[in-house]
Amino acid sequence: MSDLNKMTDWEKLRALVSDSKLESKSRTVDEKLLLEFLQARIKGQDEIIADVARVIRLSWEKQQRTRPICSLLLLGPTGTGKTELAKVLAEYLYGDAKDMLRFDCSELSNPDMAKSRLTGSSSGYKDSESGGQLTRPIMANPRRLILFDEIEKAHPLVFDLLLQLMGDGRLTEQSTGRTADFTQSIVVLTSNALADEVGKATEGMTDYREILNAIKTLLSESGVFRAEIMGRIDKVYLFKPLTGMIVAEIALLKIAALGKDYGMTVEFVAPELLLKALEANLKVSRFGIRELERIIFDFFAEQLVAMRDRKVKTVSFRLDPDGKIVCYPAEKPEQSQAGN
């Protein structure tokens, strides 16, 4: 019998089906396939992604919705995979990470800008015909994941809109009076607020309801989130700091992705070189995985471009005795090393 895993490009097929009329009629999500997709991209948060896959499967299959499919709050230190999880969910569920609407809430702290940016300016004001950056895309395509990054930085007006969005599944555009329907969308909020305090408050707890109650109480009493916002959120997840070997796995994923950006496959990276990247990241670890991406770019991009210009398709990396990074064609490493 044929090996089905090799008979087609499953990732591309999944994206095509997800973006077609076939998927728009479907009320099912394959939890096993979703979990496998998440496990390939999100490292160090196994318990969280397993529950996310379960919650989305159950929520997706509801026949009648008056709210978004689900509303998730992702808490924890910066660079632990919260934003990446939102991207991967959008890619799997809606066919493309571009179907995610992302709002940096530090840019929504101004009361004059917050509401108009999301739901558009009132009729007669400048750019009112353009509509809101949240409402207008949803009107065009309601099948989206909506990410509010670092939600604690948003102005209270944004929370007012979120109460309506997550509670009623609808928002009205100011300039046109048209309604945006969010019942086919997933809402994700991320927050770094009180990450240490939340971690300490839940230390040793194993029961999810006990953990959830402790988190909600702490966030509400500290004034970070209003109680009514917490009441609209379906699930709260606390992301753990990443350990050394998990960061190494993530580094390899980032290196592979960078190679793909330049049209190449990275076949092998020497452990000594990975350690060098991890040690560089440790010096700026407070910035999390985002800083690791910059380090990887600085380490590898120049040599990837050079190899691309030589029409090389597959490369490997090692450290020479002097600690210099060496990139060579994976097909002929001996010749490449001899040339160096």
Q: Report the alpha-carbon distance of residue 17 to residue 308 in Å, rounded.
A: 32
Confidence band for 286, pLDDT divided at 50, 70 and 90: low
CA atoms within 13 Å, Cβ hemisphere of 259:
22
Q: Report the alpha-carbon distance of residue 321 to residue 43 in Å, rounded.
A: 32
Q: How does pLDDT run across 76-85, given as a tens digit for each residue? A: 888 889 999 9
Q: What is the mean pLDDT of the chain?
A: 85
pTM of the model as a whole: 0.77
Token digits for 101? 């609407």
Lowest mean pLDDT among 3-7, 259-263, 271-275: 3-7
Confidence band for 58, pLDDT divided at 50, 70 and 90: very high
pLDDT of residue 49: 96
Q: Give the CATH class of 244-339.
A: mainly alpha
**In the chain, where the domains are located:** 4-238, 244-339
pLDDT of residue 158: 93
Report the pLDDT averaged over residues 111-135.
75
Per the CB < 8 A criterion, the answer to whether 68 and 165 are in contact is: yes
pLDDT of residue 235: 92
Residue 226 φ then ψ, to 5°: -70, 150
Q: Which residues have C-beta within 8 Å of that of residue 191, sequence separation ≥ 6? A: 73, 74, 75, 150, 151, 152, 224
Q: Report the alpha-carbon distance of residue 100 to residue 1 in Å, rounded.
A: 39
- Strand bridging mode 170-172 / 179-181: antiparallel
Question: In sequence order, which ranges of the chain are alpha helices (DSSP H)?
Answer: 10-18, 21-24, 31-41, 46-60, 82-94, 111-119, 135-140, 156-168, 195-201, 208-221, 227-232, 244-261, 271-282, 289-309, 333-339
pLDDT at 130 over 70: no
Confidence band for 126, pLDDT divided at 50, 70 and 90: low
The CA–CA distances, whole Å, from 278 to 85, 181, 323, 339 equal 22, 44, 15, 28
pLDDT at 340 over 50: no
pLDDT at 124 over 70: no
Q: Which CATH superfamily is domain 4-238 in?
A: P-loop containing nucleotide triphosphate hydrolases (3.40.50.300)
Element (H, E) at 209: helix 208-221
Token digits for 206? 């194993």
Confidence band for 188, pLDDT divided at 50, 70 and 90: very high
3-state secondary structure of 203: coil
Per the CB < 8 A criterion, the answer to whether 132 and 115 are in contact is: no
